[in-house]
Amino acid sequence: MYDHIRSGLKTWYAKQGRDLPWRGVGDPYKVWLSEIILQQTRVAQGTPYYFAFTKAFPTVKDLAMASEQEVLNLWQGLGYYSRARNLHAAAKYVVEELNGVFPSTYKDLLKMKGVGDYTASAIASIIFDEPKAVIDGNVFRVIARLFLVDDNIADAKTRPVFAAIANELLDKENPGDFNQAMMDFGALQCAPKPMCANCPVQEYCMAYKEGKQQQLPVKVKNLKRTKRYFHYFHLADRRGTWLRERVGKDIWKGLYELPLIESEDEKFPSHRLAELNLPGSEDDFPVLFKKVHKLSHRDIIGTFYKAESPSHLEGYQLVSHKEFDRYPVSRLIDEYFHSQEMPKPPSLFG
């Protein structure tokens, strides 16, 4: 059965595989970039970032020599900023510790920051022909359906079950192409809404035989979501906009933000306005924008107010409108500026 499925998928891929810009480039740096960008990001959203990064940093050395701020700025809008910081750290590792030579085995690739089993398997198989099966969400789905595996894919203990099947199925002669075939097949044919009618491996699909395609894969998350309440104050005048860099082990580290009061709840934090040198009461601060920003384990409830700029603000810096564009911000803050129709330096004051 494995042989039939394997050859069915290979034939399907030869005709219907996606033509993606990082395919066939033969450059581990570019494949690595694409894989990191595409973690938790759809292909359509990630592709412009791939082009932007390869244009700004054509080689791993260029990326290593950039400042973290430049990297974060280019990453802006993709979310999960730790990916960008790891990307930068890993580029430095390759240049400084490995003399600019990209690791060429699964084991050595794993030593790069931000590279886990999935990315190491993808690069090792696609560029270096190492027989390592890649397991992403698409592959989980295809295997769960073909082999009727109903283990919970959100449970880490389940992974070896899927890995064993994926490695058995893998085409050892051509592992890179086969891994890409599996991913494309899961993305296009055996998608969340599968197209079983014209599926080339339908006759071997156990879920299809039992009519269980829609129930697989099983994914039961047990995450308790938490909420955080961010009250942002857009304080700007002709001189510029007050910003500060987020530091510490919190979300959005290294990104810049507007003056913030984080509070226990959604209520306007009247009693804490002095922290930002702001006089007045709630009525003086109309809400300009409000948005629930969803992260993997928590919701950030962001509320934005506008107020007069103080002459001095401890812990923040006044960034001129001309320079503003060079400061990377979170997607939440970016959306606020777009909602006010001032995506690039706030023109109202400039």
Residues that bind ligand SF4 (CB under 6 A): 145-146, 189-190, 194-196, 199, 201-202, 205, 207-208, 213
In the complex with ligand SF4, the residue whose CB is nearer, 140 or 285, is 140
Residue whose structure tokens are 């080339």: 200
Q: Give burial (CB, 10 Å; 0-12/13-18/19+) of 103.
A: buried
- Torsion sign (Cα): 24, 166, 170, 94: positive
Residue whose structure tokens are 């400084």: 96
Are 300 and 331 in contact by the 8 Å Cβ rule? The answer is no
Residue whose structure tokens are 């910081």: 85
In the complex with ligand SF4, the residue whose CB is nearer, 11 or 270, is 11
- The SS3 call for residue 292 is strand
**Whole-angstrom distance, CA of residue 144 vs CA of residue 165:** 10
Are 141 and 192 in contact by the 8 Å Cβ rule? The answer is yes
In the complex with ligand SF4, the residue whose CB is nearer, 117 or 151, is 151
Q: How do 298-307 and 226-237 pair as beta strands?
A: parallel
In the complex with ligand SF4, the residue whose CB is nearer, 13 or 230, is 13
Nearest to 313, CA basis, from 243, 252, 248: 243
* Least distance between ligand SF4 and beta carbon 207 (Å): 5
**Whole-angstrom distance, CA of residue 137 vs CA of residue 117:** 13
* Least distance between ligand SF4 and beta carbon 158 (Å): 19
* Least distance between ligand SF4 and beta carbon 150 (Å): 14
* Least distance between ligand SF4 and beta carbon 206 (Å): 8
In the complex with ligand SF4, the residue whose CB is nearer, 186 or 328, is 186
* Least distance between ligand SF4 and beta carbon 153 (Å): 15
Q: Which of 35, 130, 257, 335 is catalytic?
A: 35
**Whole-angstrom distance, CA of residue 94 vs CA of residue 236:** 42
Q: Is 35 a residue of the active site?
A: yes
The residues that are catalytic are 35
